Amino acid sequence: MTSFPEAARVELANVQLRTNLRNATDTIRAKRAKVVDELPDWEELRDAGKAIKTDVLAHLDEYLLQFESAVEAAGGHVHWARDAAEANAAVATVARAHGVDEVVKVKSLTTDEIGLNAALAEAGIHALETDFAELILQLDGDWSSHILVPAIHRNRSEIRDLFARTIAPGIESDDPRDLAEAARVYLRERFLAARVGVSGANFGIAETGTVCVVESEGNGRMCTTLPPVLVTVLGIEKLLPRFSDLEVFLQLLPRSATGERMNPYTSLWTGVSDGDGPEEFHVVLLDNGRTRVLRDEVGRQALHCIRCSACLNVCPVYSRTGGHAYGSVYPGPIGAILVPQLLGIENAASLPFASSLCGACYEVCPVKIDIPKVLLHLRAKAVEAKASATERTSMRTVAWLFGGPRRLAAAQRLGRAGQRPFVRGGVIRRLPGPLAKWTGTRDLKPVAAESFRSWWRRERR
């Protein structure tokens, strides 16, 4: 991955991007604040959401097996995938078994995470994105920069030009209604012809084997009901124990995400039913690093995330750099804590530093993920991972010196003697050798002429 500072430098030069981001995030933020204020029990809902997610992670092994049994009892098939390759292979196998060369897809971050479209393309199968923004990105070979509004970095005249070159030759209007109509006409035939649909999911219910997808456009419902075969890729952390838990999350999610009281489309299905929806249903349960995240007692709360994107919309860093600077399908504050854990800190070490630690993300998170705390935890890991042997030895020595009063007093005496040539006007402005990096950007206070302990001894005996 390109490091965040390098990638951000490029994105910051894009004035259009910053204008688009500001307009979009300001609007969503205001809508969210309004609908959240309507609920007198919002804090209790957040507590409930957090408690349910904590319970899920504590008993994930049991809930996964319960979910598997419930799906199979309802006529579905369950596939277990340790990583992206296994998940992609499971989807490709189902598509190949039905002899299709195209599947229709619901917008899904999980399938983006595993690179499903590219993997299917290698198998000779085209994955057609049917969400309006995802379709735009697919037609232009671009990729998402926001969890919920993937094409937030594009404006409507760019989209009109793209459609004129691809799916709607001759289109002149950049009115959003005309652009949506062009996409609708293009997609409708493909929905009707599709024999395999692919989706992610917002929630899976362990108790009943039900899968839930929420969306705004209705394309998701087309994908999950029209094709006779449906494959859902579900991250293992997306489970909820009981059907009644949806009562909490279907209030938290739309309000935090699009600032709506309810999503326009909430689709729920349980296995297969005669004469209603797909005749064949597969669910791929995806790990892909999640069990590694689960092992970290501080970092595991990142798995509570319900992908609402509220943390992106309030983040002062995201609002200036946009999503591409994060180099992942999970941008913003959640990306900064999730990606380094999924990929290993050595592969995304700069991301936990992509934050001012202002805490705005924590305040809006509907499941109370303490993002600043996890960021600090991961920063410590990143520093630890790249510290040189000299740095490590120095830190250990400092810890030893600070660990005993006599040792500290001796170090202070030595420091007082050693610092004399460098103190000018009561501060140290320049140190020699490797220590020069420290004074390159800040002045250093010299060791005090007398320590507090010695003053205390002298004054109070």
Q: How many residues bind ligand SF4 (CB under 6 A)?
A: 14
Answer yes or no: are the C-beta atoms of 249 and 306 closer than 8 Å: yes
Candidates 56, 119, 231, 334; binder of ligand SF4 (CB under 6 A) is 334
Report if residue 336 touches ligand SF4, rule: CB under 6 A: no
- Which one, 219 or 309, has the nearer CB to ligand SF4? 309
CA distances from residue 156 to 31, 174, 332, 395 in whole angstroms, order as listed: 22, 6, 24, 54
Candidates 367, 375, 378, 382; binder of ligand SF4 (CB under 6 A) is 367
445's CB contacts (< 8 A; 6+ apart) are 427, 428
For residues 382 and 344, give the distance between their C-alpha atoms in angstroms, rounded to a whole number. Answer: 10
Tokens of 300: 């595991």
- Which one, 6 or 26, has the nearer CB to ligand SF4? 26
Contact letters for ligand SF4, residues 244-263 (x by CB under 6 A): ------------x-------
Longest dimension (CA), the chain: 92
Question: By CB under 6 A, which span of 15-23, 81-89, 150-158, 303-311 interacts with ligand SF4?
Answer: 303-311
Candidates 211, 306, 339, 375; binder of ligand SF4 (CB under 6 A) is 306
Closest distance of CB 252 from ligand SF4, Å: 8
Q: Which helix (H) or strand (E) holds 78?
A: strand 77-81
Q: How far is CA 8 from the centre of its chain?
A: 17
For residues 392 and 388, give the distance between their C-alpha atoms in angstroms, rounded to a whole number. Answer: 6
CA atoms within 13 A on the CB side of 15: 0
Answer yes or no: are the C-beta atoms of 34 and 284 closer than 8 Å: no
Pairing of strands 196-199, 229-235: parallel
- Which one, 168 or 240, has the nearer CB to ligand SF4? 240
For residues 96 and 322, give the distance between their C-alpha atoms in angstroms, rounded to a whole number. Answer: 37
- Which one, 160 or 238, has the nearer CB to ligand SF4? 238
Candidates 308, 317, 354, 378; binder of ligand SF4 (CB under 6 A) is 308
Report if residue 331 touches ligand SF4, rule: CB under 6 A: no
- Which one, 196 or 367, has the nearer CB to ligand SF4? 367
Report if residue 375 touches ligand SF4, rule: CB under 6 A: no
Report if residue 127 touches ligand SF4, rule: CB under 6 A: no
Report if residue 35 touches ligand SF4, rule: CB under 6 A: no
Report if residue 305 touches ligand SF4, rule: CB under 6 A: yes
Pairing of strands 102-105, 196-199: parallel
Residue ranges in contact with ligand SF4 by CB under 6 A: 256, 305-311, 334, 364-367, 369
